[in-house]
Amino acid sequence: MDHNSSRKNERSLRFKVIVIMLGMLVVIAITLAVGVFLINFSGELAARESYQDIAFMRYPVLIICESVIVLFLVPCALSFPLLARIYRGKSFTLSSVRLLRVMSICFFLMILPFLALEIYTEQFIGGSIINLYCFLGMGIAFIVANLFGLFTTLIERASEFEQEINLTI
């Protein structure tokens, strides 16, 4: 009875990992589409007469936004090797800790472009709603980075515990 329950839990975990992987593919596709859309959208926006006075901001803002997208895509891409380890039942490894640490660092680094965008837009468009979005993005990036940092610590401790158990046996 216990053996069947274990197999059922293992199949359930593998199914969940596959669903998460498919979800991550969708997230990556949407993020890439947004990145491409921003290039065209910034060109159209800069061409409008009502935005001619701030058209010079197009490329710096676009570069900053694309850097946020890249810093988001890196952890998304790194989630696949991590999920593959979970799928194979090798969650508590040093490689998993490294992957989670890089993900955490990417989200912490994401704060810098948001801060740069906030400072840049405040210079030329004081009181813009973009600054509110920048602060919101910084807050979300900070929270997610800390969550990944917490998961890193948990996996690291579990890995150490697992090694101690294996040495004891």
Query: 92-149 pLDDT, tens per residue?
Result: 888 999 999 999 999 999 999 999 999 998 888 877 788 899 999 999 999 999 999 9
Residue 76 has pLDDT above 80, yes or no: yes
pLDDT class for 1, splitting at 50, 70, 90? very low
Residue 33 has pLDDT above 80, yes or no: yes
pLDDT class for 55, splitting at 50, 70, 90? confident
The residue with greater pLDDT, 94 or 74, is: 74
pLDDT of residue 169: 63
pLDDT class for 3, splitting at 50, 70, 90? low
Q: Cα separation of 21 and 24, whole Å? A: 5
Spatial CB neighbours of 81, under 8 Å, sequence gap ≥ 6:
95, 99
The predicted-structure confidence for 155-168, as pLDDT tens digits, reads as follows 999 888 877 777 77
CB atoms within 10 A of CB 11: 10
So where are the chain's domains?
Answer: 2-168
Residue 161 CA to its chain's centroid (Å): 28
If you count them, how many residues does the chain have?
169
pLDDT of residue 10: 83
Q: Cα separation of 87 and 12, whole Å? A: 11
